[in-house]
Structure 1
Amino acid sequence: MSAHHSAPPVRRLGSTDVAVTAVGLGCAPLGGLFAPVDPAVATATVDAAWDGGIRHFDTAPHYGAGLSEQRVGAALAPRGRDGYALSTKLGRVLVDHEGQWDLWAEPNGKRAEFDFSYRGAFASYHSSLERLGLGRIDIGLIHDADDHRKEAVEGTYRALAELRASGEVGAVGIGMNSTDAAAEIIEATELDVALIAGRYTLLDQSALDRLYPLCLDRGVSVIAAGVFNSGILADPKPGATFNYAAADPRMVAKAQAVAGICDRHGVPLRAAALQFTAAHPAVASILVGARNPSEVDDALAMYAHPIPGALWHDLKAAGLLAEEAPVP
């Protein structure tokens, strides 16, 4: 393990037996998101996470049309199966496709299509097992059902609930961006976990209004992704991306104001971003995406970086953080 940090603590999801580390590795970049990733670098990235104490790995068929699952499965193959938690997602099936597709830089002969049907869920599950080289999945998540809530509840969720009952999936949840859509599905189902991207960050605390209180009330553990809002909280310069689109000037100005207060306290913006999101009592784990070992090491160092309480006080005093937001 690297010298600059200790292993992240372990937390249980909902009322299940599935445990995740408080920092998990988001493996979308390993599917060639925006730029190709050498398979050897993908393996080294998973190894760096393991060496840093990370024991939760999150992937999906959508990520590189199966490439991320293949690479994560290959990298984890030498590890004891009971030593980590693996999450993947259902709600898309892969179909044949020539050439590059969507945001994925490595043509794989496939692309993903939405399918929230009951049968589609089982097809997705078994295909994922094959690509991962595994016999079971710890965490099964309904993926991007923001605009397909009814089908997802009647189809994908029903299949996942059966897989959970049979012990083939340890915990069942959603992986989404919209807080209202996520809340609707949580109210209609019995979920263990909600993976929510970009809705509880230094720039966007919309999950405070309805979603996080609902999760606490129903015993649904949150895995928080997108803690940098896709880039702006890692480097708040003009032209930065906010939730995968160009950030508007007001958002850049807000990020720069947050960064200025961090600078005054000698704290990297990335450290404040990670630790703020992790501090909410609904959050069991934060996911950090990484495409190489140095990005993993940086995330773990930022997660462990000392932050004075005065920094959070100053952010609230400047009106940059919701007054009711819990802080570390």
Structure 2
Amino acid sequence: MRTTTLGRSGVRVTELAFGAAALGNLYTPVSDQAAADTVTAAWDAGIRTFDTAPHYGLGLSERRLGAALRGRPRDAYTVSTKVGRLLVPGGPGGNDLANGFAVPATHRRQWDFTADGVLRSVEASLERLGLDRVDTVLLHDPDDYVEFALKEAYPALERLRAEGVIGAIGAGMNQAEALTRFVRDTDMDVVLLAGRYTLLEHGALDELLPEAAARGMSVIIGGVLNSGLLADPRSGATYDYAPAPEPLLDRALRLKAVCDRHRVPLRAAALRFPFGHPAVASVLTGARSADEVNDTVASLRRPLPEALWDDLRAEGLLPAHAPVPQPTPTHTPANTPAKEPS
């Protein structure tokens, strides 16, 4: 699997990254064995980049990911986690499904983008992961705290990077506008944009992606299936974890119709699309089973005809200026030097 470097850091990521939210029992429980098998399937497929956060299952995702990676060569993989939510003992009890995770609500999340909060969060994450370092740390959803995060949390991350505690720093959000601010006003290495640069949504082409490319900053794209709408567009499909609005469902069905004509699964086109932009270093996808991992990897490697993108543009489903991927490369053997994505 191809790799590239995040910004000007020394942190390399595989083109497909493993999102570990499901290991924190996102919506439904996952057994310890299934979690371990899922990470093993990702490893066997060549994935070497793993993303987690304290928020995911009140730390369960970090604990499971760390356990699954234990014993593997530490220099062979990279791990990213996030700061901004501290886990404080003394939760409300019951379960945490109100926050999306099927785990006991033994802790509560406390927003904290102070410099001290960043240090405490990183230290706690290292303990849960069982690692002596994390490669990348992201500000997690600082939507309501942008100014404060720029003043307090970002300089703390910058210091940790300068001290060699962290290899790369960045921010992860579900919107392009505030991320553009971080791209312009900081010396981050990477931003993670979830659900906002997909076959359905192209607004990141206006400012975020061009700014990142111009400044040598990498972008990781998450949520390429728009919460499932681009996996199986049908009545009742979800978008942003809620029932998809009718206009978006109609657009997704039109995308599927074009893909069907080319005998390409819609999810395969959705997975490949972000790689057309030179700023995109990796696509982050979640999985809760080995089968889901294997299906995603197979979709990534599926050859896509260039005519597919031409037809999507001709039908007004892609803007004319949207860059599209080069023909799908053949698999690179493990002993072959990795190439930078085009």
Is TM > 0.5 for Structure 1 vs Structure 2?
yes
Structure 2 residue 33 is the aligned partner of structure 1 residue 40: yes
Match of 1:64 among 51, 57, 60: 57
How much does 1:267 deviate? 0.2
How much does 1:189 deviate? 1.1
What is the alpha-carbon distance in structure 1 between the residues aligned to residue 274 and residue 104 of structure 2?
A: 34
The amino acid of 1:31's aligned partner reads G
What is the alpha-carbon distance in structure 2 between the residues aligned to residue 182 and residue 149 of structure 1?
A: 9
Deviates more, 1:129-138 or 1:97-106: 97-106
Structure 2 residue 262 is the aligned partner of structure 1 residue 265: yes
Residue equivalent to 1:4: none
How much does 1:117 deviate? 0.8
How much does 1:80 deviate? 0.9
How much does 1:108 deviate? 5.1
Matched ranges for 1:125-274 at <5 A: 125-274=122-271
Residue equivalent to 2:306: 309
SS across alignment from 1:111: strand
Deviates more, 1:25-34 or 1:146-155: 146-155
The amino acid of 1:81's aligned partner reads R
Match of 2:46 among 44, 53, 59: 53
What is the alpha-carbon distance in structure 2 between the residues aligned to residue 277 and residue 108 of structure 1?
A: 36
Aligned-pair identity in percent equals 52
Cα displacement string for residues 55-91 of structure 1 (whole angstroms, at most 9, x for unaligned residues) = 0000000000100000000000111111101000011
How much does 1:99 deviate? 2.0
Q: Structure 2 length normalisation: TM-score?
A: 0.92
Structure 2 residue 65 is the aligned partner of structure 1 residue 90: no
Q: Structure 1 length normalisation: TM-score?
A: 0.96
Deviates more, 1:186-195 or 1:99-108: 99-108
What is the alpha-carbon distance in structure 1 between the residues aligned to residue 156 and residue 316 of structure 2?
A: 45
SS across alignment from 1:147: helix
Do the aligned partners of 1:118 and 1:154 also contact (CA within 8 Å) in 2? Answer: no
Moved over 3 A (4+): none
Cα displacement string for residues 225-273 of structure 1 (whole angstroms, at most 9, x for unaligned residues) = 0000111001111111112222101100100000011001000001000
Cα displacement string for residues 107-129 of structure 1 (whole angstroms, at most 9, x for unaligned residues) = 15123221111111101000000
What is the alpha-carbon distance in structure 1 between the residues aligned to residue 159 and residue 227 of structure 2?
A: 34
What is the alpha-carbon distance in structure 1 between the residues aligned to residue 203 and residue 189 of structure 2?
A: 21
Residue equivalent to 2:119: 122
The amino acid of 1:277's aligned partner reads P
Do the aligned partners of 2:183 and 2:208 also contact (CA within 8 Å) in 1? Answer: no
RMSD of equivalent CA atoms: 0.9
SS across alignment from 1:30: helix
What is the alpha-carbon distance in structure 2 between the residues aligned to residue 113 and residue 312 of structure 1?
A: 44
Cα displacement string for residues 151-205 of structure 1 (whole angstroms, at most 9, x for unaligned residues) = 1111211111111001010000001111111111222211000011011100001
What is the alpha-carbon distance in structure 2 between the residues aligned to residue 286 and residue 110 of structure 1?
A: 31
Match of 2:317 among 292, 316, 320: 320
Aligned length: 321
- For structure 2, the residue ranges without an aligned partner over 5 or more in a row are 326-342
Residue equivalent to 1:99: 94
What is the alpha-carbon distance in structure 2 between the residues aligned to residue 65 and residue 111 of structure 1?
A: 8
Do the aligned partners of 1:49 and 1:296 also contact (CA within 8 Å) in 2? Answer: yes
Structure 2 residue 66 is the aligned partner of structure 1 residue 73: yes
The amino acid of 1:184's aligned partner reads R
Deviates more, 1:154-163 or 1:247-256: 154-163
